[in-house]
Amino acid sequence: MATRPTARTPHAATGHAPAAALRLCVRRAALLALAALAAGLGAPRPSAAQWPNGITIDQTPHNLTRPAKNTDPDMRNRIADFDEICVYCHAPHWGAGPTPLWNRPNPAGGYRMPEINDPDMIQDPQPTGNSVKCLSCHDGTIGLDGVIKPPITFSGPRFGQTIDECEGCHSGGNPAGGIDWEGVWLDTDLRKQHPFSVLYDPSRDPNFRSIAEVEAAGLVLYDGKVQCMTCHEPHTERYRPFLRIPRTGFCSVCHIGNPGESTAHHW
């Protein structure tokens, strides 16, 4: 009687027993991982020494642990050292109010809004959206360490230094070799700033580009409005100062021709 051919087992093609085949797969995966790691190590990367002129959040001025850890006598007791970069704005397991993971109080308000010369564009009477969050540091009314909930590991004092104090000393390259904070304090009188909390509706004004063009260029509208984070990305300085796209031709992303006015908030 002819013998029937036996079915091939999954490992028959490799000639390895199941355990040996598994070890082979693990070795191959490990080799691929090492190759990927080697490729990453070989790529140019910014170093921590580049603060505050790096690209990633830990290498930018938004890493407030750096000035908080500064041992210079003039810098001591100005910003509490939470020893965590994100906590100055975010709380990992809770948030303040309707915004997930947000860790700063909202400013009291009472702003003089930017002057908008285009009556066809609708501007909110007070800051809205993510612009309020930016102002919780940048209007100078709340301390940089004035978070709602510090880390559970933190037990030290908070000092309440506001951003206007930073700009007061660190402007125009002073002191030599230090960080330049000029322009980071916006104050509560925002008339010199670029308009924000504005409904972007190019159908109201032919001197503005379409929403599709603006978004295709890399800017972001929030509920259809121009906000601080329309132009700024606070977590990276790939393009300074915290811009979403390069400076070259920045204004022409929205404006057709000359905007017709200048503001202090335009680099």
Span 96-144, pLDDT tens digits: 555 778 999 999 999 999 988 777 889 999 999 999 999 999 999 999 9
Report yes or no on whether pTM surpasses 0.75: yes
Return d(Cα 39, Cα 43) in angstroms, integer: 6
**Residue 27 near residue 34 (C-beta atoms within 8 A):** no
CA 151, 154, 157, 162 torsion-angle sign = negative
Span 172-214, pLDDT tens digits: 766 666 677 788 999 999 999 999 999 999 999 999 999 999 9
Closest CA to 161 of 64, 87, 71: 64
